[in-house]
Structure 1
């Protein structure tokens, strides 16, 4: 070694020794290489997503072995969501179907963000198979519970008792149809299968109510639960509901003497009061649960009429039956003194008529006698609702009230009154009315010329 080489080595030795003595970095383990290098299945999946849905979509692993889905928008912004689907080769079909469902939902509803769309298809809270996601299927049992929470707890549109007595049965029937083989694939098909499984007369209230509640459930499932758009029910259900094969029979009025015989024969004072209110104030049976004394009138609260709304509150004056003057005043006094305790225990509005009918059949033998007499004299078939028809008849024939006044007292329109309460007069009644009118006219003295 030359003298100048020795001098250079002596000068650099203090600088090189620390580097020579420092430990060499350990080799990179294979697991770390796997995290930085995409596997073939990952490359294929990402290429498929971009080829099918555009370069704005990407996905990759997230903490806990889950999958992070990212969407880049045209303005440069981006949104990410972590799904419950594992990031694994076996999940490739499910992940591809998941992006397909979310992308379609965001295109159909531009106001939805990535997180909302993922929540609707169930990508955040639950895993699903590729077939389930691709077909737009849903966990219908879970959606039914969500529908119940929405109606009863979140919005309070439906009372718990109403859900229990009506909605639950119809939703469970709809779930059974959705689980059938082959499964219906559209909202129209679901309603048609529902009619096949539970046939009812066309145009009937039960048919209309069942289809209506099923349609509300399906609509909610599409709008709020992520169900496929094809499950949305048809906008009009008129053809499915159909029309009655024959006109509904007009109600038969209960005569005053019949009503009083039954009234005096009822042993239970609570049911006797209820029957008296039906007769003297012409109530609908459902209104027994929403009436109270208010001075010289009976204040009747609103009850649900149909899907469009409820009857309004109204004051009703008593029209005492012939042979019982002052009966209405007596009934109001009892109700004012004891309040709701004077009437039978409250129940669902639709059950008041049934309970009254049961009370008459089981505990009031006079009712059977009245029915037999009505059948023998061709009066017609009497029901609890005949008390209301009797009120309308008494108001017009005895108290000479106009149909407009009676319609106001009974809580319906003049058209309804004329259609259901102003027809069906017996021939003898018509003849007697005409004879009375002629006699009254001929008794009027002629004017002087």
Structure 2
């Protein structure tokens, strides 16, 4: 009769069946004075590197189930949180110590987690904090829905089902929402004792919820206003005696400004400069950037119009629209520039000739005035401007410039190269 299989052999078979190769348990530390040692867990990876830890239990048959359970818990923590074997065992021990219950029934509760998480975000700018607060409130709403989500993956799917109806697949809206939800869930588990099953799913799963955009980056780029349309718009504003709005539109369009940069536009010794308006968690703690020089790229047949407008602005003979000036005056109090750009957009979108232009050129937005600057720089002169120079004038780096306007610069470069070649061709046999 074959010998009865030892308990640890059965245990090893169970571990292999449940977790695959590379998970080994064995006895270690047994001596003549202490005949029963402790259980050592060894993890062997595909490249044959290995790591080991001592489990907090003796090597005996009555602990077989506990050993099998612990191996599973440690493996889950390693994969869910990308922890080392040692860190996973340490966290698992803490979770089982009684301070944080694995079942999650004793932790403070989701409203308390939300309050603590939002308090930790107080250093962020007001608009970002407002967005995060909305996403946390939505997460709590998803948690209260029925059937009740029982883990992080289910919760994030529920969030997407409830709140992504008007949020295009593959867009930054979905991405920002889900990344904030993931950060909230990780904080809940790591800092507040929430059940580990609520740890956010893998990046692959999150990307599935974000989805893929139906349009390419080039198709999503707001179209530029063409030079002839900008000229006609400025003429119409003049004819309608909309001199203040004409000044704002001309400065944004001819100088390639972000509309919000009208709040930080100054003129010194006849030169125009704009300050910094793009504030985020990184830039808020960084040293303030000096104002950047801005230069007009004029429209054919309107030479010097940009220079004339900046001198008019500096003289104060024509001011920006009153509502726009009011928003600029509130920037310091509010701590944000977005309302300046929003007011500019609102005034332009209420102007009937602009609406007629949008109807004729679908996709145009007030930001198309800025994009028109890049278009003229790369596509409206035989001496196309270098992307590095245009990027500096527009206030972003070359990588950002090429990301948004790369198709234009590439096309302009190709056309210019062919023109230079053709200009150098001599008749054969002349």
TM range (shorter): 0.5 to 0.7
Residue in structure 2 matched with residue 395 of structure 1 by the alignment:
377
Q: How does 1:49-448 map to 2 (within 5 A)?
A: 108=91, 135-136=105-106, 138-152=108-122, 156=123, 158-164=124-130, 166-199=131-164, 200-234=167-201, 236=203, 237-248=206-217, 249=219, 250-266=221-237, 271-295=245-269, 296-304=271-279, 314-333=292-311, 336=314, 343-344=324-325, 345-346=327-328, 349=337, 354-362=342-350, 364-374=351-361, 381-396=363-378, 397-398=380-381, 400-423=384-407, 437=420, 440-441=423-424
* TM-score (ref. length: structure 1): 0.57
User: For the aligned residues, what is the CA RMSD?
Assistant: 4.4
Count of equivalent residues: 315
CA distance in 1, matches of 2:176, 2:242: 34
Structure 1 window deviating more from structure 2 (403-412 vs 347-356): it is: 347-356
Q: 1:435 to 1:178 in 2, by over 3 A?
A: closer
Larger Rg: 1
Tell me if the contact between 1:178 and 1:184 (Cα under 8 Å) persists in the aligned partners. yes
Q: Is the Cα–Cα contact under 8 Å of residues 153 and 200 in structure 2 kept in the other structure?
A: yes
Cα deviation, residue 205, structure 1: 1.5
Distance in structure 1 (CA, Å) of the matches to 2:265 and 2:93: 50
3-state DSSP of counterpart to 1:423: helix
Tell me the TM-score normalized by structure 2. Answer: 0.59
- Contact 1:132–1:138, Cα closer than 8 Å, also in 2: no
Q: 1:162 to 1:328 in 2, by over 3 A?
A: same
Is the contact made by 2:102 and 2:195 (CA closer than 8 Å) also made in structure 1? Answer: no
Unaligned ranges ≥5, structure 2 = 1-87
Query: In 2 relative to 1, CA 234–257 (structure 1 residues): closer, same or farther, beyond 3 Å?
Result: same
Whole-angstrom distance in 2 between the partners of 1:162 and 1:294: 33
